[in-house]
Structure 1
Amino acid sequence: MTVSCRRATTDDVGSLYDIIQSYAEKGIMLPRSKEALARQIDTFVIAEYEGQFVGCGSLFRLGQDLVEIRSLGVTDGYKGQGIGRKLVTFLTDEAREQRIPKIMALTYEVAFFEKIGFTVVPKEIFPEKVWTDCVNCKKQNNCDEIAVLKRLD
């Protein structure tokens, strides 16, 4: 299976919205409006298989030395085939190119991130995340996601 990753374009907003919404309805990803996705399109990466959208992820800058992988998802029927790993590798390479030494994520899929070099860390070491997204999350006072970090320096 040959999956390619590329930067998202405005033509991808509908597909991005659909996959993110499917995860958000399950309570495992923050929802994003189509308008927000269009504004942040330059932060997204798309995975494609034979020209078909099969996954996405985003790299969001939280500070001078920290970026977050967020909105990482793979469409049903394509999970477990290395697409998530390919997306994270693409996003990690992008962080390296930008000379950002730390990359983090909040996740329920800890084992996935550990297999690709991330380690579990306390969420509290990321005040940047708390003030950008967590303040708007309905799970703010009862967050059950796990923070993972990878140092790139």
Structure 2
Amino acid sequence: MVSVGTLCRKATADDVDTLYKLIQGYAEQGIMLPRSREALLRMIDTFVVAEQGGTVIGCGSLCKLGQDLVEIRSLGITDGYKGQGIGGKLVDFLIEEARAQGIPKVMALTYEVAFFVKSGFTVVDKEIFPEKVWTDCVHCKKRDCCDEIAVLKMLN
């Protein structure tokens, strides 16, 4: 059940501070890679946000890893809004973005496997994504002991 009045839209430069705070909260828990405000501004066109009443309450981004592969990342919901279907709405929005770009494979690394499975993803071996390993994993402090699960959705 999605909260009434939840809107998903592409992020703008005005959202950078809110994105930074939301992502930083997850990064401090060790469940999301941190992003600087400068990096967020550079990547703002890859981000989408969920908002209610003009307040941003969630975010996610779509990172192109290759001609036929994108990754959903930086997916997070503000405390107090979790469990209301907002994450699913963001994932659906990002999947439609991938479709619009003609990209047939969408992957994510996650601790929330059941959430992604509910959205039509399947668990796969993360080693099938060398694009991800060489893009982000080489910079991650968990690279030698990664405990995230890879999920993949093929779009038709």
TM-score by length of 1: 0.99
SS at match of 2:152: strand
Per-residue deviation, 1:10: 0.5
For the residue of structure 1 that corresponds to 2:144, the secondary structure is helix
Aligned residue for 1:13? 16
2:144 to 129, 135, 141: 141
Aligned equivalent of 1:85:
88
Look up the equivalent residue of 1:81 and give its one-letter code.
Answer: Q
The yes-or-no answer on 1:56 pairing with 2:59 is: yes
Cα distance in 2 for partners of 1:33, 1:98 equals 26
Look up the match of 2:112. 109
Counterpart Cα distance in 2 of 1:132 and 1:9:
24
Residue 45 of structure 2 corresponds to 42
Percent identity (aligned): 74
| CA deviation map 1:114-148 (0-9, x unaligned) | 00100000000000000000000000000000000
The separation in 2 between residues aligned to 1:126 and 1:145, in whole angstroms, is 13
Q: Structure 2 length as normaliser, TM-score?
A: 0.97
Please report the RMSD computed on the Cα atoms of aligned residues, expressed in angstroms: 0.4
Structure 1 distance, partners of 2:83, 2:57, is 12
Instruction: Give the corresponding residue for 1:67.
Output: 70
Ranges of 4+ aligned residues in structure 1 off by more than 2 Å: none
Q: How many residues align?
A: 153
1-structure distance, mates of 2:92, 2:83: 15
In 1, Cα distance between the equivalents of 2:69 and 2:5? 31
- Structure 1 unmatched ranges of 5 or more: none
- Could you say which residue in structure 1 is the equivalent of 2:97? 94
Distance (whole Å) between structure 2 residues aligned to residue 72 and residue 99 of structure 1: 21
Q: Which amino acid aligns with 2:33?
A: L
Say if 2:123 is the partner of 1:120: yes
Matched residue type, 1:14: D
CA distance in 2, matches of 1:26, 1:102: 29
The yes-or-no answer on 1:26 pairing with 2:23 is no
